Structure 1
Amino acid sequence: MTGLDHQPATGEGTTLPRGPLAGFATGSLGMGVWVTVPGLLLLYFLTDVLAVAPWLAGLALLLPKVADVLLHPWIGHRCDVEQARRGDRRRLLLIGCALPAAFAALFAVPGGLTGAPAAAWVAVAFVAGNLLFAAYQVPYLATPADLRIGYHERTRLMAFRMVVLTLGILVSGLLAPLLAGGDAATRDGYQRMGLLLAVGMLAAMLVGVAGIGRLRRVAAASAPAHEGGWRALGAALRDRQFRWLVAAYLAMSTTTHLVLAGVPYYAEYELGRAGLTTVLVAAFVAPALLVTPAWLAVARRVGKQRALLAAQGAFAAGSLVLAVGRPAGLPLLVGAVAVLGIAFAGMQLLPFSMVPDVIRAGTGVGAGTYTGVWTATEATGAALGPYLYALCLAGGGFVASVAGETVVQPDSALAAVRYGFGLLPAAAMLAAMLLQRRYTLDRTARAGN
C-alpha cells in the first residue's frame, strides 16, 4: 500500500477507487506537455533558432496571455452553465482536446521566417493553444470541487494528478530537447518534436475525459448553484481566502516558469553545454515524481498551508545556491535543482488541493468560475516568468542568433543568465511566502473534514 492508497473514510463519505483516479490523472499527461515544453523551449527557440531579439521574444510569449485573464473566467462561467444544464462539463473538455494541433503549430514555423514574422507566427499559435488549454483545464480542475469528498480525499485526488502530471513533465522535458536535436537542434527538429508529442497529448487527454466521467459516477457529483457571468466573477474575487491564495500562487507560478524558461540558457551559457538541459530537467522533475506521497503525508500531519510554506522556503534556498553559478561545482548545482524539484512537487499538489477547500467553504459560486480565475492566474504566471527572464537577458545585452550560428555573449549577458536564474526566483518565492501567510482557511477546512 502506497502513500497515495492509504485513506480513511472522509467526512463527506466517499473514498475514490484507484481505477477512476488513474483515468482522471492521465489527462494531466497531455496538460504536462503543454505546461512544460513551451515554457522550457519556446523562448530559447525564438532567440537562438529564429533570431528573435529577447525583448520581442518575451512580448511574443506575454501578449497572448493577456486574453487569458478575461477568457479563463468566462470559460469557467460557461462550464458552470454546462454543469447546470447538462449535468457535466464534458463538451468543453472535448473542445479542449484540439490543443495538440495548436501545440504542433507552435514549432512548425514556415521555413524562411525569422525575426518579427517568426515571432508573430508563434504568438498566434500560442493564443489558439492557450484558449484550447483553458477549455480543457478549467472543467478538469473543477472536478475535485464537484465531487462529494472531504479535505484529505481532495488532497489524495490531486496527489494522483500530481504524480501523473510530473511524469508528463519529466518525459516531455527530457524528450523534447532530444527530439529537437540536442546540441545541434534545428528548425526541422523542433517541428518533428512538436508533431510527435502532439500525438501523445491527444491520447492522454481523451483518457482523462473518460476518467472524469467515471469519477462523477462513483462519487455522486453535486450540481452547484451558480450566479451569472461577471456577478459570479465578482463574488469569487471578493472571497478573501481565495484572493490571498491566488496572489500567492501568481508569485509561485511566475517563479517556476521563470526557472523553466532559464534552464536552456543556464545549461549552455553558465554550465557550458546545451545538452545539460536534459540533466537539469531530470534533476528538477524526477525528485518531484518521487516525493509527492511524502508531501501528502506532511499535509496530513501539519495541514496543507504549513506544508506549502515549507516548500516555498526550500525553493527560495535552492535558488540562492544557483545564483552562485559555476564556482559552486556541477554536483552542487544539480543538487540545488533537485531541491527545487522537491519543492515544486509541494507547490503543485498543495495549492491545487486548497482551491476546492475554498470552493466548498461556500459562496454560492460554481466551481468553474473559481477554477477559471485560478487557471487565468496560472496562465499569467506562465507568461510573466519567461518575460521577466527575457527582460533580464535584454538588460544584460544578450545577443540573439539563428540555429548553428556561434556568437560571443558579453559578460553582462552571462551575469544576467546566472542571476536571473537564481536571485530573481529567490526574491519572488519569498514574496509568495509572505502572501501565503495571509490565507487562514486551512485550519478551519481541516477541522471540518
Structure 2
Amino acid sequence: MRIAQRLSYGLLGAPLAMAALPVYIHAPKLYGDELGLGLTLTGLILLLSRAVDTLQDPWLGRLADLAQHRRGGWGVLVALATGLLLIAYVALFNPPVAAGGWLGIWLAISLILVYTAHSALNITYLAWGARASEHSHERTRLVAYREGFALLGVILASLLPMLFVEWFGLAQGWWWFSVLFCCVLIPAVWLLMSKAPLTQLVSNATESDMLQPLRYRPFRRLATLFLLNGLAVAIAATLSLFYIADVLKLEAASGYLLAIYFVSGACSLPLWLSLSKRVGRPMTWLVGSLVAIGGFVWAIQLGAGDLVPFAMICLMSGAALGADLAMPAAIATDLIPESERDRTASYFGIWSLINKLVLALAAGLSLPLLSGFGYQPGDTAGLGALAIFYAGVPCVIKLFSAGLLLRWRPSLEVQNAN
C-alpha cells in the first residue's frame, strides 16, 4: 500500500480526536464552572447523555455493516454523519445566553447529537481500516497512521481552545475553534472517501446479530481490558484541568502541560510499534501500562507550583500513551476472524460503546463524588480528594487491568502471529 493511501486513511483521525477531546475534557469545565451550570448537574447530564448514546452504538455498527453491501452505502452514511457532526459541534461549544435548566437542556441535546454523529463516523472509519488490507502488518500500520494523526488532533485540541479563549475571549474563542474544526473535518472526509483503499466483500452481513462479537471469547476479554484501561484514562482526563488549576495552581499552563503529554505519546508511538514486532502486541500493551502507572502515581503528592515535577510526569506517562492508543485497536483488528471480515463495523460498534461507557462513568461518577467530598472549583477544600481521584484511582484500576492482561495474554496473541 502506498504512503499516500495510508495518509488518506489516517488523516481523519485528527478531526475525530479534535472533536472528542474537548467534549470530555473542556465541556465539563465550560458548562460546570465557567457557564455556571454546576458540577452535579453537569455530571448528571454527561452521564445520562452517554447512557442514551451507548445504547445506539451496536445499532450504528449494524447499520454500517448493512450499508456497506449497498452501492455507495458507506459514502452516504459518512456524509450524513459528517454534516450532523459539524452542526452539533458548533452548537455544543457556542450555546446561547441562557441560565439554569435551559442551559442544561441545550447541553443534553447538543451532546446526544455530537455523540450520535461522531459514533456513526468513527465506527465506519474503524471498520474501514480493518477492511483496508488483508495483511495484519499493513492493518497495524494503518492503525499507527490513524493514531498518529489522532494524537496531532489531540495536541491541537489541547492547545488551541486555551489560546483562542485567551486571544478572543470565551465565546469568540470557542467559535473560532469550532470553525477550525469544520475546516479540518471536511477535507479529511473527502480524502477518506476518494483515496483510501477498501477491499471488496464477497459475503453477506445479514446472517449475524449485533452482539455476535461478544460471543467470541478473545474479543470479549479484550473488550473487558479496554473498558478497565479506558476507565482509568478517562478519569484522569476528566479531572486533569481541575487538578492543574486547583492543586497545582497552574491553570495558565494547562494547555502546554497537556501538549507535553500528547507530544510525548506521539513521539513514543514508533517505539511501541517496534517493540510489538519483537514481543507481541499484548505484551507491549502490558509494558506500556506498567510505565504509565510508574510515571503517573507520583501526581498524588504534588502541590501548588510544582510545574517541573508535573511536566516530567506528563512526559513519562505520555510516553506510555502510544501503547494505550495503538495496541488495543491493533489487537482488536486482528482478533476479528476472517469469516467475520464483512462484519467489522459490528465489532467496532461494541468498541465504541465501551469507549463511551468509560467516559460516561468517569465524568458522571467522579465529578459528583468529588463534590460529595467537599471539592468545588476554585476552593481550597477537597484538594486531597481531587489528587487521589485524579492519580490514585486510575493507577489502581490500571494495575488490575494489567494483571488481567498478563493472565489472558495467550488468548489475545493467537491471532497476532501472522
TM-score by length of 2: 0.93
Matching of residue 418 in structure 1 with residue 387 in structure 2: yes
Q: Structure 2 residue aligned with 1:222, among 201, 206, 209?
A: 201
Unaligned runs of 5+ residues in structure 2 are none
Matching of residue 165 in structure 1 with residue 157 in structure 2: no
Give the residue type in structure 2 aligned to 1:226.
Answer: A
Q: In the alignment, which residue of structure 2 is the partner of 1:120? A: 105
Q: Structure 2 residue aligned with 1:100, among 66, 74, 86?
A: 86
Question: Judging changes above 3 Å, is the alpha-carbon distance between structure 1 residues 147 and 408 closer, same or farther for their aligned structure 2 residues?
Answer: closer
Q: Structure 2 residue aligned with 1:151, among 110, 113, 136?
A: 136
Question: Judging changes above 3 Å, is the alpha-carbon distance between structure 1 residues 142 and 181 closer, same or farther for their aligned structure 2 residues?
Answer: same
Deviation of 1:47 after TM superposition, in Å, equals: 2.4
Deviation of 1:60 after TM superposition, in Å, equals: 1.3
Provide the identity percentage: 22
For 2:251, what is the secondary structure of its paired residue? Answer: coil
Q: In the alignment, which residue of structure 2 is the partner of 1:427? A: 396
Provide the aligned length of Structure 1 versus Structure 2: 416
Give the residue type in structure 2 aligned to 1:340.
Answer: S
Q: In the alignment, which residue of structure 1 is the partner of 2:50? A: 65
Superposed, 1:277-288 pairs within 5 Å as 277-288=254-265
| Deviation digits for residues 242-297 of structure 1 (CA, Å, limit 9, x no counterpart) | 11111111122222222122121111111113112112201211101111111110
For 1:140, what is the secondary structure of its paired residue? Answer: helix
Q: In the alignment, which residue of structure 1 is the partner of 2:271? A: 294
Give the residue type in structure 1 aligned to 2:36.
Answer: A
1:396–1:415 Cα contact (<8 Å) kept: no
| Deviation digits for residues 382-441 of structure 1 (CA, Å, limit 9, x no counterpart) | 2222223303421221236xxxxxx5332xx21122111110110121232233332544
Matching of residue 209 in structure 1 with residue 186 in structure 2: no
Distance 2:379 2:337 in 1: 55
More helix by share: 2
| Deviation digits for residues 291-323 of structure 1 (CA, Å, limit 9, x no counterpart) | 111111011111111001111112222221111
Question: Judging changes above 3 Å, is the alpha-carbon distance between structure 1 residues 419 and 17 closer, same or farther for their aligned structure 2 residues?
Answer: same
Give the residue type in structure 1 aligned to 2:86.
Answer: P
Question: Judging changes above 3 Å, is the alpha-carbon distance between structure 1 residues 310 and 105 closer, same or farther for their aligned structure 2 residues?
Answer: same
Give the residue type in structure 1 aligned to 2:149.
Answer: V
| Deviation digits for residues 203-261 of structure 1 (CA, Å, limit 9, x no counterpart) | 333333333345654x6343553135xx5223211111111111111122222222122
Superposed, 1:24-43 pairs within 5 Å as 24-43=9-28
1:146–1:223 Cα contact (<8 Å) kept: no
Question: Judging changes above 3 Å, is the alpha-carbon distance between structure 1 residues 82 and 316 closer, same or farther for their aligned structure 2 residues?
Answer: same
Matching of residue 409 in structure 1 with residue 380 in structure 2: yes
Give the residue type in structure 1 aligned to 2:370.
Answer: L
2:235–2:390 Cα contact (<8 Å) kept: yes
Q: In the alignment, which residue of structure 2 is the partner of 1:176? A: 161
Give the residue type in structure 2 aligned to 1:222.
Answer: L
2:19–2:89 Cα contact (<8 Å) kept: yes
Superposed, 1:361-380 pairs within 5 Å as 361-363=338-340, 366-380=343-357
1:303–1:442 Cα contact (<8 Å) kept: no
Deviation of 1:363 after TM superposition, in Å, equals: 4.6
Question: Judging changes above 3 Å, is the alpha-carbon distance between structure 1 residues 128 and 260 closer, same or farther for their aligned structure 2 residues?
Answer: same
When the two chains are superposed, the root-mean-square deviation of aligned CA atoms in Å is 2.2
Of the structure 1 ranges 249-258 and 18-27, higher mean CA displacement relative to structure 2 is found in: 249-258
2:268–2:320 Cα contact (<8 Å) kept: no
